[in-house]
Amino acid sequence: MLHILLVEDEPFLARVVKDSLEQRSYTVTHAVDGRKAYDLFVQGDFALCIVDVMMPQVDGFTLVRQIRAVDKQVPVLFLTARTDTADVMEGYGSGGNDYLKKPFSLEELFLRVAELLRRSNAGESSAGNACPIGRYRFLPQQQVLQLDGQPDTRLTYRETQLLQLLYDHRNDVLARRQALLHLWGDDNPYHARTMDVFITKLRKQLRSDASVQILNLRGIGYKLVC
């Protein structure tokens, strides 16, 4: 059974999530604060981490940075009531792969967990199936952009998903609503603003090749030109 580290200081929620995941045949270890969670992480072998942000001792963002210092690959799902755009961006920037807002449905949690584990279990992509974007090589499974002569650029889970969508529609239009529904399951303004932030970040990450552009087609969507 796959082993999940659950880091949550609210007892009732932690018990509900732990029991529900165990009913789905996962093994779950629960930690009530970030310091204890890190000790458990370095001693164990976890397939996934589910991490609250606002916790005693060590907050979730700091904990995930500590985890990333020793493990670059383990999937991390933030589970938190902090949903301002700045908080979401800090979550991805600290090394998180996904961000689930409280309150949430257990079915959505199960879907997010299954998707993160699926991507992780797919393993690292080989050079032979890298996606060419101008002079870049995009490795979706590794969540990496490569450019000769430069260090690899590590992408967040959402950046990877969005760039994969753009690549699949390269030199064609990716409808804005289609992207929102694919990535978040809805097209509300909050997620639309968040996606705009990711588009800006992707443009910066691709700026070393002037032949690569992400065009904004106002009121329609985006186009990756490469």
137, 167 contact by CB (below 8 A): no
Cα separation, 81 vs 155, in Å, equals 24
Would you state the structure tokens that stand for residue 180, as one six-digit string? 């929102």
pLDDT digits (tens, 9 = 90+) for 202-217: 999 999 999 999 999 9
Residues 29-52 have pLDDT tens digits of 999 999 999 999 988 889 999 999
Residue 222's DSSP bridge partners are 174, 216
- The helix or strand, by DSSP H or E, that contains position 39, with its residue range, turns out to be helix 34-43
- In whole angstroms, give the CA distance from residue 219 to residue 176: 8
In tens, the pLDDT along 121-179 reads 654 443 346 889 999 999 987 888 999 888 889 888 788 889 988 998 899 898 998 88
Q: Which helix (H) or strand (E) holds 21?
A: helix 11-23
Distance separating alpha carbons of residues 196 and 104, to the nearest angstrom: 24
3-class secondary-structure state, position 91: helix
CB atoms near residue 182 (< 10 Å)? 14
User: What global pTM score does this model have?
Assistant: 0.59
